[in-house]
Amino acid sequence: MSVSAVPPVLHTIEQTSINTIRTLSMDAVQAANSGHPGSPMALAPVAYCLWQQFLRLDPQDPVWPNRDRFVLSNGHASMLLYSLLHLTEVRAVSQDYETLSEVSVPLDAIKAFRQLGSRIRSTAGPRAWRLPRGRSAKASPRASALPWPGSGWPRATTAQACPCLPE
C-alpha cells in the first residue's frame, strides 16, 4: 500500500461525531430486534460529511423553503437519518407547519424505534405529516422525481438502494 493510498486521519471531533452516529444507530436497531445496522454504520462518514460541509439547512427552521433535502431511500439505513435528526436537534413542526420548541426526534423516540406506537418508523406511509421534520418524503419508483439542477429548486442529495429506482 502506497502512502498516497492511506486515508487521511480525521480530527478527533469528526471521528467522535461519526462514531456517535454509528453507535446511536446500532443501539436503536439492536434494541428494536429488527433490521441490520450495516448501512447506517457504513454511511455515517458520508452522511456526516454531507451534513457538515454541503447541505444548506437550519435545524431551528426546518420548514425553510430553500433548504436542501437529504433523500434516503434505503430503508435499512433509516436509523441513520433519525440519528442525524436527533444529534443536530432539528425542531419539530406541527401539522400546520409551525416550528415547535421540541426536537423532532428525541432520544425516547429513538429508543422506541420500530416498536408499536413509535413516532419514528422505517417508511413514510399515508400519515407523513406525523413523521419527524427532516423525514418529509419517501423515495420509491413512484415518488423518485427530483428537481433538475438549475431549476430554481433546492438541491436534493440522495442515498439509494439498487431496487428503489427504475433503470
128 DSSP 8-state letter:
G
DSSP 8-state symbol, 104: S
Rounded to an integer, the average pLDDT of 37-50 is: 92
Q: What per-residue confidence (pLDDT) applies to 2?
A: 53
Is residue 80 classed as helix, strand or coil in its secondary structure?
helix
Domain locations in the chain as residue ranges: 12-123+132-137+154-161
Stretch 79-93: mean pLDDT: 92
pLDDT in tens, 153-162: 555 555 555 4
Of 114, 120, 117, 105, nearest to 34 (Cα)?
A: 114
Does pTM surpass 0.75?
Answer: no
* Residue 6: pLDDT over 80: no
Residues 6+ apart with CB under 8 A from 118: 109, 112
- pLDDT in the model for residue 120: 73
Strand, helix or coil for residue 130: helix
- 61 vs 69, more confident: 61
For 98-138, the pLDDT digits (tens) are: 899 999 999 999 998 888 777 776 554 444 434 455 544 44
Please report the pLDDT score of residue 33 as a whole number.
86
CATH architecture of residue range(s) 12-123+132-137+154-161? 3-Layer(aba) Sandwich (3.40)
